Structure 1
């Protein structure tokens, strides 16, 4: 487990408090916070709340949180950062009236992929990024179900990167997400 205190915020949230009863981290987003660069919308948002620590080659990072949100574009998950215009966010987002599992890869403009997962609402979700060779493999699961493949993306093997929990609330001021764990493990041995 990575202690919450080891991370550095990309943009400080409205509040972040460690629950003394269970050591969960409760993060309240600032209204208008988001991460996006240019594509289709024409704007750049770099106000996400991402708590980051080093993400070296041949390692994997996981965050676990409760998916209890329903405001338009509410989002939580995992953020991987190389530079202001080279980053990845993966996790859950409330979009088009449903909870969605997806990823945004920015290099230097953003793309976006989504798949509906409405049954994940209110449950524990784990988002995992495994870094090996010239790629990052993103996986996700709900509760204790098996991890499912979300995406494989190119990632420079020599890049100095950081990763950790992410929260953003583009359209409201009262989103609070409960993170249960932040872990670093060995990278995945195989893709499948």
Structure 2
């Protein structure tokens, strides 16, 4: 795995990665705010197949828009980030889909789990985002279009757009590659 915007403070052991985000980091393109940010932290693998990626996330979110989750990326203009985003003191399940311009969908987690389990699956041009609920069932959150491209980057993402940084822990990251068009994993 390799970093885009490697944080100055991070460590890993076995199945755990701990990151302290740098201040004023984010991924965003144009919509509503008019700016482009490509400064968030992204630890990724190159993938040329369909896949399923799972990770457990625990963050000490404290400032507006603190975020952590999974990202897939073709280039700086085509990417998806999804996971927790902290807004007005509430953890939100969030997804930003970017094709030149970013969109943002989110829903508040009124009883957020201590550890948030996230799954992203690529089936050709479709990206399926789901989270594990309190009954240990994966609940679909969003399906989004992502262009079929041979090589894309997939991995863990975190950022602190407004704050001075925070600590996030990623546990049990698992990337399972699948044959293109194969729904079995």
Change in CA separation of 1:177 and 1:42 when aligned onto 2, cut-off 3 Å: same
Residues 1:16 and 2:7 are matched in the alignment: no
Residues 1:138 and 2:105 are matched in the alignment: no
Cα distance per residue 1:109-154 (max 9 Å; x no partner): 0000010003115x11122111112211111125662111111111
Q: 1-side partners of 2:149 and 2:158: how far apart? A: 27
Which structure: greater strand fraction? 2
Please, which runs of 5 or more residues in structure 2 have no aligned partner?
none
Q: 2-side partners of 1:167 and 1:158: how far apart? A: 24
With normalisation by structure 2, the TM-score equals 0.89
Task: Name the residue aligned to 1:90.
Answer: 82
Cα distance per residue 1:137-178 (max 9 Å; x no partner): 111125662111111111222342111111101122230101
Task: Name the residue aligned to 2:18.
Answer: 26
Change in CA separation of 1:132 and 1:162 when aligned onto 2, cut-off 3 Å: same
Q: 2-side partners of 1:149 and 1:74: how far apart? A: 23
Task: Name the residue aligned to 1:175.
Answer: 166
Q: 1-side partners of 2:135 and 2:68: how far apart? A: 19
Q: 1-side partners of 2:160 and 2:145: how far apart? A: 27
Change in CA separation of 1:130 and 1:83 when aligned onto 2, cut-off 3 Å: same
Q: 2-side partners of 1:158 and 1:60: how far apart? A: 16
- Tell me if the contact between 1:76 and 1:177 (Cα under 8 Å) persists in the aligned partners: yes
Q: 2-side partners of 1:144 and 1:15: how far apart? A: 35
Task: Name the residue aligned to 2:176.
Answer: 185
- Tell me if the contact between 1:67 and 1:125 (Cα under 8 Å) persists in the aligned partners: no
- Tell me if the contact between 1:124 and 1:143 (Cα under 8 Å) persists in the aligned partners: no
Cα distance per residue 1:73-97 (max 9 Å; x no partner): 1100001110010000000000133
Alignment of 1:114-125 (within 5 A): 114-120=106-112, 123-125=114-116
1:119 aligned counterpart, secondary structure: coil
Change in CA separation of 1:112 and 1:142 when aligned onto 2, cut-off 3 Å: same
Please, which runs of 5 or more residues in structure 1 have no aligned partner?
1-6
Q: 2-side partners of 1:78 and 1:89: how far apart? A: 6
With normalisation by structure 1, the TM-score equals 0.86
For structure 1, which segment, 140-149 or 71-80, has the greater mean C-alpha deviation from structure 2 after superposition? 140-149
